[in-house]
């Protein structure tokens, strides 16, 4: 089994511009490796949990063979942003000192438009399966979170996944949810091969791979005031969630198939 590589760490050197499409106020920035990244800040919106969801969702997608941007740990120096004129952005940067998450910027990419761009049954089924597995609520007609880059479809923005961790109660129940919100998925009408994809993806995502992905979560993102669990225990919660959900994948597959029949 091929080991999951650790993420690189870069230092954010230049804040270029805010990306105001969503409520979390990510930004385009340049790092000390001379590449540009979309930075997701721990001081924004859902904070560190959104970064964890982004990390887990993106790396699971990568293992399953999807096109996703490279992720990096993005370090923000305490002095960064002091000269920022916008008070909202200045506060965001202040509360984001330390380790954040960066996604390699896909320069020239365009948003996927479901009205003019086609996705075949296999790829649509794969993406619907992924999003049902990670409980991603944010791949809809309103916000597809997919890009076309070099004539290929890329998946971005998984920060709205794993919504169970915002309440952190009844984890076992959340792990076996049918995920009824899959009915709003932009690619559900084309997802005719879910049973086939379920078998293929369950053969890829073994316990060892899931454990390696979960252990990519930095300890600094797991110091939550609302729980007494330590970092290892919290990582184990995520791992058990994923293992349980994978073992009972027929629940969300059947829900997806039912929702698709209703649409058609």
68-108 pLDDT per residue, tens? 999 999 999 987 766 667 788 888 888 899 999 999 999 99
| Pair (31, 93) in one structural domain | yes
Helix (H) or strand (E) segment spanning residue 205: none
Structural domains of the chain, count: 2
Question: Which residue, 104, 137, 170, sits at the end of a domain?
Answer: 104
Average pLDDT, integer, range 165-178: 87
The answer to whether 114 and 127 have CB atoms below 8 angstroms apart is: no
- In a domain? residue 100: yes
> Percentage of the chain surpassing pLDDT 90?
79
- In a domain? residue 2: no
Higher pLDDT, 216 or 23: 216
- In a domain? residue 127: yes
Q: How far apart are CA 90 and CA 75, in angstroms?
A: 16
| Pair (124, 251) in one structural domain | yes
Reading phi first (left if > 0) and then psi (alpha if -120 to 50, else beta), residue 93 is in alpha
| Pair (89, 196) in one structural domain | no
| Pair (79, 123) in one structural domain | no
| Pair (91, 220) in one structural domain | no
User: Which residues, 6+ apart, have CB-to-CB distance to 101 below 8 Å?
Assistant: 39, 40, 42, 51, 54, 55, 71, 72, 73, 74
| Pair (153, 85) in one structural domain | no
- In a domain? residue 3: no
Average pLDDT, integer, range 233-253: 97
Average pLDDT, integer, range 175-191: 97
| Pair (138, 244) in one structural domain | yes
| Pair (140, 56) in one structural domain | no
* Domain with 167 in it: 110-263
Q: What is the pLDDT of residue 141?
A: 94
Average confidence score pLDDT of the chain: 93
| Pair (150, 246) in one structural domain | yes
Higher pLDDT, 4 or 259: 259
Tell me: pLDDT of 236 over 90. yes
70: tokens are 């490279």
**In 3D, which of 193, 205, 202, 171 has the Cα closest to residue 256?**
193
Average pLDDT, integer, range 142-159: 96
pTM for this prediction: 0.95
1 falls in which pLDDT band (50, 70, 90)? Answer: low
Q: What is the pLDDT of residue 171?
A: 83
22 falls in which pLDDT band (50, 70, 90)? Answer: low
Q: What is the pLDDT of residue 10?
A: 98
In this structure, the strands spanning 110-111 and 98-104 are: unpaired
Question: Which residue, 84, 104, 124, sits at the end of a domain?
Answer: 104
| Pair (68, 132) in one structural domain | no
31-82 pLDDT per residue, tens? 999 999 999 999 987 789 999 999 999 999 999 999 999 999 999 998 776 6
8 backbone dihedrals φ, ψ, rounded to 5°: -70, 155
Question: Which residue, 78, 104, 130, sits at the end of a domain?
Answer: 104
| Pair (167, 205) in one structural domain | yes
């Amino acid at each position: 089994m091929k080991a999951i590589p650790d993420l690189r760490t870069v230092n954010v050197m230049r804040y270029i511009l805010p990306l105001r499409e969503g409520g979390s106020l990510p930004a385009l920035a340049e790092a000390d490796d001379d590449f540009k990244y979309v930075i997701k800040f721990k001081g924004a919106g859902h904070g560190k949990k959104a970064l964890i969801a982004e990390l887990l969702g993106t790396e699971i997608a990568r293992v399953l063979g999807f096109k996703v941007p490279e992720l990096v740990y993005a370090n923000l120096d305490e002095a960064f942003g002091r000269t920022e004129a916008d008070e909202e952005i200045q506060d965001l940067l202040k509360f984001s000192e330390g380790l954040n998450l960066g996604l390699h910027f896909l320069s020239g990419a365009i948003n996927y438009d479901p009205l003019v761009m086609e996705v075949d049954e296999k790829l649509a089924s794969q993406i619907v399966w992924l999003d049902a597995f990670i409980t991603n609520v944010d791949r809809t007609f309103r916000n597809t979170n997919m890009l076309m880059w070099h004539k290929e479809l890329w998946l971005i923005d998984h920060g709205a996944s794993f919504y169970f961790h915002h309440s952190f109660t009844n984890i076992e129940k959340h792990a076996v949810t049918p995920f009824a919100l899959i009915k709003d998925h932009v690619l559900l009408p084309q997802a005719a091969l879910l049973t086939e994809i379920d078998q293929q993806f369950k053969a890829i995502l073994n316990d060892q791979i899931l454990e390696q992905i979960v252990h990519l979560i930095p300890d600094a993102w797991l110091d939550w005031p609302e729980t007494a669990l330590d970092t290892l225990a919290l990582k184990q919660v995520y791992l058990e969630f994923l293992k349980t959900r994978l073992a009972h994948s027929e629940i969300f597959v059947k829900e997806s198939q039912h929702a698709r029949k209703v649409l058609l």
